[in-house]
């Protein structure tokens, strides 16, 4: 979803991908080095205190804006234009078919009248956008159009947060679309040799696990489950009598008491693998598909060492950790090992950074 924040094409100027999730602010800056070839110029992650972002909504604007400002300063970039995204649950999307020969103003009128049928709010309360996907499968005289709509306050909260950090939003995307854009960079690296393999992209975040199953480059299924890294944080807080901040710090630093791994981390990873296995069963029972060729793990929990092996053993499906930067060159100011470690957290930010190169 592109919002009318600027008359400029985002391709014409540098643009940062800015992802504000439940647990952290993440930024990525890419440059183009050739046809579909990119370099990672900078990236940054600034962890958020609890309850700053709740259920995808920015609950504490000042704290969120302060984290964005700190993350931007640490990047050391002069670029202030950002591409942001809305949580997938905050956006209603619908594909419609329209005549191919409509002028843009006529198409806008048609989109509005179609949107009226699907959107349970008054149109003056929503930001509405559309994108032509291409010729309709049924007829060459028609086009397939994707409509996206979100409540204005959801968009305005995100814009206010960026502007409070003195950044300038140019693009408002949808998290699931940004993730798919980053997944397109991963797809060629997968060790699957069949045409149009079925790949489950499993993003295990702080409070939810989002599963998107792709057949080739088309999403065929998506589901969200209430399971995430916050459960491990709660276990750490309970076991060691710690605050949430102390528990998060232990999870990230690895400087944990010696019973942490056998008593807390390992059972959590086994639970995570069970959740992934359960998600695949939901997929098989609610679609005509009965196998998955590859699992790609993303999100903060994908950074836990060895989690891919546990998931592969439990599901009997080859599993890799998401790294959309694997085929990119890296600027001298980026530490390669750190980038590889943080890569699964940066899927949305990477997909947003790619918006700079949109036609």
Ordered structural domains, the chain, with CATH: 10-89+154-183+327-357 (3.30.420.40), 90-152 (3.30.1490.300), 192-317 (3.30.420.40)
Specify the pLDDT at position 27. Answer: 98
| pLDDT(3) > 50 | no
Q: Enter the tokens of residue 327.
A: 């085929």
pTM of the prediction? 0.91
pLDDT tier at 2, thresholds 50, 70, 90: very low
Provide the CA 73 distance to its chain's centre, in angstroms. 23
Report the C-alpha gap between 229 and 300 in whole angstroms: 7
Q: How many CB atoms lie within 10 A of CB 228?
A: 23
pLDDT tier at 12, thresholds 50, 70, 90: low
The secondary element (H helix, E strand) that includes residue 340 is helix 336-342
Q: In what order do the strands lie in the sheet with 329-330?
A: 168-174, 81-86, 16-20, 24-34, 37-47, 329-330
Q: Enter the tokens of residue 163.
A: 């502007």
Q: Which of 66, 86, 79 is nearest to 12 (CA)?
A: 79
pLDDT digits (tens, 9 = 90+) for 58-93: 999 999 999 999 999 999 999 999 999 999 889 988
Specify the pLDDT at position 7. Answer: 38
Mean pLDDT computed over every residue of the chain? 91
Q: Which of 125, 123, 145, 124 is nearest to 134 (CA)?
A: 145
| pLDDT(111) > 80 | yes
């Amino acid at each position: 979803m592109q919002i009318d924040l600027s008359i400029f094409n985002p391709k014409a100027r540098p643009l940062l991908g800015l992802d504000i999730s439940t647990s952290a602010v993440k930024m990525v800056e890419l440059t183009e080095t050739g046809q579909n070839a990119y370099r990672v110029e900078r990236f940054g992650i600034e962890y958020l205190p609890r309850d700053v972002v709740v259920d995808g909504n920015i609950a504490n604007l000042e704290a969120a804006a302060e984290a964005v400002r700190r993350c931007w300063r640490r990047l050391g970039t002069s670029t202030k234009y950002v591409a942001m995204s809305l949580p997938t649950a905050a956006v209603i999307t619908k594909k419609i078919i329209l005549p191919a020969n409509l002028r843009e103003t006529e198409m806008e009128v048609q989109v509005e009248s179609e949107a009226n049928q699907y959107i349970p709010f008054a149109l003056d309360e929503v930001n509405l956008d559309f994108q032509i996907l291409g010729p309709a499968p049924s007829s060459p005289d028609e086009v397939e159009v994707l409509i996206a709509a979100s409540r204005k306050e959801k968009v305005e909260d995100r814009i206010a947060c960026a502007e409070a950090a003195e950044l300038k939003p140019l693009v408002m995307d949808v998290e699931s679309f940004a993730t798919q854009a980053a997944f397109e960079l991963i797809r060629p690296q997968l060790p699957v040799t069949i045409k149009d393999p079925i790949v489950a992209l499993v993003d295990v975040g702080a409070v939810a696990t989002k599963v998107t199953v792709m057949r080739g480059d088309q999403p065929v299924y998506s589901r969200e489950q209430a399971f995430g890294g916050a459960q491990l944080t709660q276990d750490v807080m309970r076991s060691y009598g710690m605050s949430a901040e102390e528990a998060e710090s232990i999870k990230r630093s690895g400087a944990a008491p010696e019973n942490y791994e056998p008593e807390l981390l390992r059972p959590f990873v086994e639970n995570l693998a069970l959740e992934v296995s359960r998600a695949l069963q939901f997929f098989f029972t609610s679609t005509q598909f009965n196998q998955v060729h590859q699992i790609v793990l993303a999100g903060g929990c994908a950074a836990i060492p060895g989690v891919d092996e546990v998931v592969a053993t439990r599901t009997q499906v080859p599993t890799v950790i998401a790294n959309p930067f694997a085929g990119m060159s890296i600027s001298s100011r980026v530490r390669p090992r750190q980038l590889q470690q943080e890569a699964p957290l940066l899927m949305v930010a990477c997909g947003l950074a790619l918006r700079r190169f949109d036609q």
